[in-house]
Amino acid sequence: MNFQELTDFLNFKAEQYENPVFLESDPIQLPHRFSQKEDIEIVGFLISTIAWGNRKSIVKSGERLLEIMEQNPFEFIKTYNSVNLEHTSFVHRTFNVTDLDFYFRSIQNIYKTGTLESAFENTSSIDGVQGRIISFREKFMEIEHLDRSHKHLSNPAKNSAAKRLNMYLRWMTRDSKKGVDFGIWKTIPTSELYLPLDVHTSNNARRLGLLTRKQDDWKALEELMSQLQLMDPIDPVKYDFALFGLGAFEKF
């Protein structure tokens, strides 16, 4: 395929897979249970944080998080105290109740002076979504926490592809008209978004000649996005649906 043929192919696949029918198996179904902005963004952030491993296990752990928050996330966060988790068990892979306590406290701290959306305001010297994630990470880490919790919030300054944070930003920012993403954040342009680089998107990007770098890191993400931005400079991250769908549903 030449570049135009490849663009047409991925446009078709993006349209095919950006469809609510696929929510049944995807962790994004959990924030879709809520209508209030704060509930959606809190649940979305927590679910994206634990989004590694089998999708069924992610949804199961997400259900447990909703139970812990009594199905009322924003109210729970506003009144949260670490005592609330003293007799609570939670673990998803390496993310445990100690990490969860820190996340609850940090989200609460963010809402004391702003919102999760405003916490992604770029205050760094680095442009674009990389600068936004670095700024958010600094804000999130400003309260007391154990060193072990650092690993759960990826750092693109250290060349991490920041898969889960990029996925979260896609969920919150992209238009909701197709019933998949939420479009509740208005301060981040879709042109800035980077896709969540995972085994499906990276391997399929290599098969299609869009990516040559072998490591799935931030440099690889920049290489891939430079191609996708040529295909659609306004909404390049829509191709996440195409590249992921080809791998997850078609075994491309």
pLDDT tens per residue, range 152-170: 899 999 999 999 999 999 9
Does residue 65 come out as left (phi exceeding 0), alpha (psi in the -120 to 50 range) or beta? alpha
Confidence label for 247 from pLDDT (cuts 50, 70 and 90): confident
Q: Which two tokens stand for residue 84?
A: 């609330």
Tokens of 127: 């442009």
Please give the average per-residue pLDDT across 28-47, as a whole number. Answer: 97
Q: Residue 174's pLDDT is what? A: 97
> Higher-confidence residue: 247 or 32?
32
Angle at 152 between CA 41 and CA 170, to 5 degrees: 35
Whole-number Cα distances in Å, 172 to 45, 169, 182, 186, 220: 9, 5, 5, 9, 23
pTM higher than the cut 0.85: yes
Quick one: pLDDT at residue 145?
Answer: 82
Contacts of 161 (CB under 8 A, 6+ apart): 154, 196, 197, 216, 217, 218, 220, 221
| pLDDT value, residue 252 | 67
Identify the bridge partners of residue 96 per DSSP, sorted by sequence position.
Answer: 91
Q: Residue ranges of the alpha helices (H) in 114-217?
A: 128-140, 163-173, 199-207
What's the CA gap between 9 and 217, in Å, rounded?
25
Q: Are strands 91-92 and 95-96 parallel, antiparallel or unpaired?
A: antiparallel
How large is the average pLDDT for residues 52-76? 95
- Token couple for 183: 């479009």
Residue 204: burial class (beta carbons within 10 Å; 0-12, 13-18, 19+): buried
Q: Is the pLDDT of residue 251 over 80?
A: no
pLDDT at residue 66 above 90?
Answer: yes
| Average pLDDT for 82-91 | 91
Token output for 238:
């829509």
User: pLDDT at residue 220 above 80?
Assistant: yes
* N- to C-terminal Cα separation, the chain: 15
State the DSSP H helix or E strand holding residue 88, giving kind and residue range, or none if neither.
none
Total Cβ atoms within 10 A of residue 3: 12
Q: Does the structure show a pLDDT above 80 at 56? A: yes
pLDDT of residue 160: 96
Q: Is 92 helix (H, G, I), strand (E, B) or coil?
A: strand
Q: What does the block give as tokens for 249? A: 């549903």
Give residue 149's pLDDT: 79
pLDDT score of 212: 97
- Whether the per-residue pLDDT at 84 is higher than 90: the answer is no
pLDDT value for 25: 81
Q: What is the model's pLDDT at position 41?
A: 98
Higher pLDDT, 120 or 146: 120
Mean pLDDT score of the chain, rounded to an integer? 94
Which residues are CB-contacts of 217 (< 8 A; sequence separation ≥ 6)?
A: 159, 160, 161
